Amino acid sequence: MKQQQLITFATAVSKAPLQLISVTYLGRQIMIPTEDIICLEGDGNYTYIFTRTGRQYLLSKTLRHYADHLDNQVFVRIHKSYIINVAYLQDFDRQCGRTFTLTGGKEVTVSRRRYKELIEQIAQHRVVALA
């Protein structure tokens, strides 16, 4: 019975969204809380993490790795190169149609295929935030 409980616990932990991301910065390991992440930008086998403090970190894992492990209620894959935290959306350029501005001034363009998903996620996030 204990072995089954351990397997159940291990399965639940492995499926739980990341709360912290470990980063090597200036020779030190630092932990970045996921709520501090504005967006992630993929560049081949590397990912840049942009934080609300204005720092940018380069990690040697793919964007897909983070897409699989971040909370999909907060983080949305908007393009093959971007995952954004919907809490940091600031502005929407209605002229261009699919360009959003994030906290810190970073502009991201949403792919046509993922636009509807983002709009639904924004609506859900805003309703939850107001409740």
- The per-residue pLDDT for 84 is 92
Q: Which residues of 20-41 are buried (b: 16+ CB within 10 A; e: fewer)?
A: ebebeeeeeeeebebebbbbbb
Whole-number pLDDT of residue 58: 94
Residue 114: both structure tokens together: 């993922």
Is residue 110 within 8 Å of residue 97, measured between CB atoms?
no
Q: In the chain, pLDDT over 90 holds for what percent of residues?
A: 38
* Average pLDDT estimate for 26-41: 93
Taking every pair of C-alpha atoms in the chain, what is the biggest distance, in angstroms?
60
The whole-model pTM stands at: 0.77
Structural domains of the chain, with CATH: 13-130 (2.40.50.1020)
CA gap 77, 4 in Å, rounded: 35
Cα angle, residue 78 at apex, residues 76 and 13 outer, rounded to 5°: 30
- Given pLDDT bands bounded at 50, 70 and 90, which one contains residue 94? low
* Pairwise CA distance, residues 106 & 117, whole Å: 20
pLDDT digits (tens, 9 = 90+) for 74-92: 899 999 999 999 889 888 7
**Model confidence pLDDT, tens digit, residues 35-59:** 999 999 999 999 999 999 999 999 9
* pLDDT exceeds 90 at position 5: no
